[in-house]
Amino acid sequence: MKIFIITLTSILTLFCSQIFAQSAEEKGLEIIEKSIALDNGFVDSTVVGKMILKDKSGNESVRSFKNFIFEELDETLGDKSIIVFTEPRDVKGTSLLTHANIEPKDDDQWLYLPALKRVKRISSSNRTGKFVSSEFSYEDLSTDEPEDYNFLWLEDINCPADPSLQCHVIEATPKNKKSGYSKRVIYIDVSELRYQTVKFHNRRGDLEKELNFKSYQKYLDKFWRADLLEMKNLQTGKSTNITWENYEFQTNLSINDFNPEKLAKMAR
């Protein structure tokens, strides 16, 4: 009887572990969803940014801009954002409007060019291009939506950008065949579920770019924002850093402010 009970217990333990075991795909998706959920409720935000472009010889050019973000409460829709350049003169007024969408629908993007005084729609096939000659593509400037990727948890290791932190390592494969990437490898810290590093693999599968998030600050006792984004092209040696300052939240932006027809007005 004792042997029978031990055997039955072992079988039940194995059976339950198989039922409740979480797959690597499920774990990857769960971590991403938790990370995104922690940022829910900011409503809207504005922030001043500075973009520092550097070539492989170390020569720099600097551009200043404002960023406006509107949180879409409808879970079937993505957030809206606008980037408006304020300096230097040759890019002043250039603006990018992004409406993030859920797969299978492509994101919508519009570019306002003050020299032409018109709004140009960015086609899906052009989203892999560089935004104002930086190392950020149009695709990089759209918000992440869990439905846009297949996720796979790989392991937990020390974070590459900050070895004092532990990171979940998650592989994200885009569902959109027009993506400029075959996959992204995302490092999210275990303690606060903040993005620490993203490694971008091009369509051939080669590691092309690496983005590091640094100097996180907490706003409204809840929302983490990195004061510095470092994007480096590992193949060309070029880099683009973005610094952020003067965050403001819940500034009464409305969905109407993110209409393509309003871009010219926002650029003034």
Long-range contacts: 83-90, Cβ < 8 Å, 24+?
83/49, 83/141, 84/266, 84/267, 85/132, 87/62, 87/63, 88/62, 88/63
Residue 11 lies inside a defined structural domain of this protein: no
Residue 191 lies inside a defined structural domain of this protein: yes
Answer whether residue 243 shows pLDDT above 90. Answer: yes
Residue 92's CB is within 10 A of a number of other CB atoms, namely: 15
Residue 16 lies inside a defined structural domain of this protein: no
Per-residue pLDDT band at 126 (split at 50, 70, 90) = confident
Residue 6 lies inside a defined structural domain of this protein: no
Q: Which helix (H) or strand (E) holds 244?
A: strand 239-249
Residue 2 lies inside a defined structural domain of this protein: no
Per-residue pLDDT band at 9 (split at 50, 70, 90) = low
Average pLDDT of the segment spanning 163-181: 95
- DSSP 3-state of 100: coil
Q: What is the pLDDT of residue 265?
A: 82
Structural domain for 91, as ranges? 24-266
Domain count, the chain: 1
| Contact between residue 187 and residue 195 where contact means Cβ atoms under 8 Å apart | yes
Q: What is the pLDDT of residues 41-95, one digit of tens each?
A: 999 999 999 999 999 999 999 999 999 999 998 878 889 999 999 999 999 999 9
Q: What is the pLDDT of residue 65?
A: 97
Which amino acid appears at position 66 of this protein? K
Tokens of 166: 């532990």
Residue 80's CB is within 10 A of a number of other CB atoms, namely: 22
Residue 237 lies inside a defined structural domain of this protein: yes
Q: What is the pLDDT of residue 262?
A: 87
Percent of the chain residues topping a pLDDT of 90 = 77
Cα–Cα dist 62/60, whole Å = 7
Nearest to 109 by CA among 81, 86, 144, 90: 81
Q: What is the pLDDT of residue 142?
A: 83
Residue 13 lies inside a defined structural domain of this protein: no
Q: Which helix (H) or strand (E) holds 28?
A: helix 24-37
Q: Which residues pair with 164 in a beta bridge?
A: none
Average pLDDT of the segment spanning 140-150: 88
Q: Any idea what the CATH number is for the domain that residue 28 is in?
A: 2.50.20.10
Q: What is the pLDDT of residues 200-214, one digit of tens each?
A: 999 999 999 999 999
Residue 93 lies inside a defined structural domain of this protein: yes
Q: What is the pLDDT of residue 130?
A: 93
